Structure 1
Amino acid sequence: MEMQIARVIGTVVATKKDERLSGVRLMVIQPCNSKGEDVGKPIVAGDAIGSGIGETVIYATSKEGAFCLPNPDACCDAGITAIIDSMYSI
């Protein structure tokens, strides 16, 4: 699985969730390309690094999406792995 770029556009509030997601915030992210243009539909991703709305992030999907979470066995199909400070494309 390759890492991809997205913009954080919202949060998800869950009054109950799987205990393996304890301490993990759920964020709504909009996949985008290196120019910041939207690609596809928004998805929910686990976030253990503290990203915020409006930030550009790198995320992974599939089983690898949970590897960056406190419990890598968490039932999570997408996980935010980094916050992008700056980016440029050629």
Structure 2
Amino acid sequence: MFLARITGSLVSSHKVEVMTGQKLLIVEPLRVNEKDQSDLQPTGRTFVVVDPLGAGEGEVVLCVQGSSARFTKETKHLPVDAAIVGIVDTVQVGGNTVFKGSE
């Protein structure tokens, strides 16, 4: 699993039938600031993920890759290798809050 921020969306008008109606988002993985563990920093990479939860741009989400992306009821029959499985509320490292979402 990895943390990522949603940076955009993807629209594909031609795709396999089973993917029709699936929301696709662009995410950028995040990591804890190596210097002082004070916040989450972008990695500079991007992934396309399927979103069965209805997350929105700018939100921090929990993603899975590989076969784990097809272990949910919503993604079981989809040809995907990355999916959002949670919307993150808070991240704490060493007793310090490094991310707190909007309430």
Per the alignment, residue 11 of structure 2 pairs with: 13
Aligned-pair distance for 1:85? 1.4
1:53 aligns with 2:51: no
Q: Higher relative contact order by CA 8 Å / sep ≥ 6: 1 or 2?
A: 1
Structure 1: which 4+ aligned runs deviate by more than 4 Å? none
Per the alignment, residue 98 of structure 2 pairs with: none
For 1:26, which of 24, 27, 31 is the aligned residue?
Answer: 24
1:37 aligns with 2:7: no
1 or 2, which has the higher strand percentage?
2
Per the alignment, residue 70 of structure 1 pairs with: 74
Aligned-pair distance for 1:89? 1.3
* Structure number with bigger Rg: 2
Identity, % of aligned positions:
27
Deviates more, 1:76-85 or 1:38-47: 38-47
Aligned-pair distance for 1:16? 2.1
What CA distance in whole angstroms lies between the structure 2 residues aligned with 1:69 and 1:42?
25
- SS of alignment partner, residue 4 of structure 2: strand
TM-score by length of 1: 0.86
Count of residues in Structure 1 that have an aligned counterpart in Structure 2: 88
Per the alignment, residue 89 of structure 2 pairs with: 85
Per the alignment, residue 100 of structure 2 pairs with: none
Uncovered stretches (5+) of structure 1, i.e. residues with no partner: none
Q: CA RMSD in A?
A: 1.6
